[in-house]
Amino acid sequence: MMPAEAPWRQRLPAGVADSALLTQALTHRSAAVLHNERLEFLGDSVLNQVISAQLYDQCPESPEGDLSRLRASLVNQDSLAAIARGLGLGESLLLGEGERKSGGKRRDSILADALEAVIGAVFLLAGHAAAQRFILDLYTERLAQLPSAQSLKDPKTQLQEYLQDRGIEIPLYKTLEVLGPTHAQQFRVSCAIAALSLSLEGQGSSRRRAEQDAAARVLAQLQQETGAHGAS
């Protein structure tokens, strides 16, 4: 049985805390045949629906694109893992020996998946309304401090909009080099704007991340130059 003092357990609806389904939600596939992946699938859907509905009500002036970015910022792995970690969920996870020894209780992917599985269990055991209350309780602070939609746009999108506003053609991205073994590759990518005779490089563990890094560098330089010209 999980420790009664675990903060996340105190938030569970009545009748959920000591259930076999909740134990399954906390069980990683490395620990047992009956693990939490199906519950994670269900919890992910419930979480997205609840957060979508909340943002729809909370942000009546926001267009679809902004709502999508806000939702993505709330339900991504980093956010879920941070919530799970803050609640001490990792200490209640059931992991195989290998995962325990390798620090699985602290791994973002495992924490995020487990939290979604717990949401799935709450939904099945207590219903949609209870799952909604549980989710909104977990997200109280994040929903009260939503970032601006503009700040959530990735660097490639921000750069494209910056250029389009000024009638400049969108940049060309080119993979220059791929280093390292398959499981730990590093990409080097260039971002070039022909009209401005500007090209900078970025790096990352995937082609997308390298492109984002390059775009961020180009955007920063353009904004710096704009600011310098404006000050002169």
pLDDT digits (tens, 9 = 90+) for 20-70: 999 999 999 999 999 999 999 999 999 999 999 999 999 999 999 889 989
User: What are the residue ranges in the chain where pLDDT is below 70?
Assistant: 1-5, 227-232
Whole-number pLDDT of residue 182? 81
Q: Are the C-beta atoms of residues 38 and 69 closer than 8 Å to each other? A: no
Structure token pair of residue 121:
């269990």
What residue segments make up the domains of the chain, in order of their start? 9-148, 155-231
177 is in an annotated binding site: no
Q: Which CATH architecture has domain 155-231?
A: 2-Layer Sandwich (3.30)
Catalytic pick among 64, 97, 116, 177: 116
**Unique residue bearing structure tokens 């949609």:** 128
Question: How far is it, in rounded angstroms, from Cα 21 to Cα 117?
Answer: 10
Whole-number pLDDT of residue 227? 66
Whole-number pLDDT of residue 5? 55
91 is in an annotated binding site: no
116 is in an annotated binding site: yes
Q: Are the C-beta atoms of residues 15 and 121 closer than 8 Å to each other? A: no
* Domain range 9-148, CATH class: mainly alpha
Whole-number pLDDT of residue 230? 53
66 is catalytic: no
225 is catalytic: no
Whole-number pLDDT of residue 162? 92
Residue type, 109: S
Whole-number pLDDT of residue 10? 86
Q: 178 in the Ramachandran plot: left (φ > 0), alpha (ψ -120 to 50) or beta?
A: beta
Cα–Cα distance list, 176 to 183, 189, 200, 210, 214 (Å): 19, 5, 11, 10, 12
Catalytic pick among 5, 18, 44, 161: 44
Cα 109 → chain centroid = 10
**Unique residue bearing structure tokens 């000050």:** 231
> Does this model's pTM top 0.85?
no
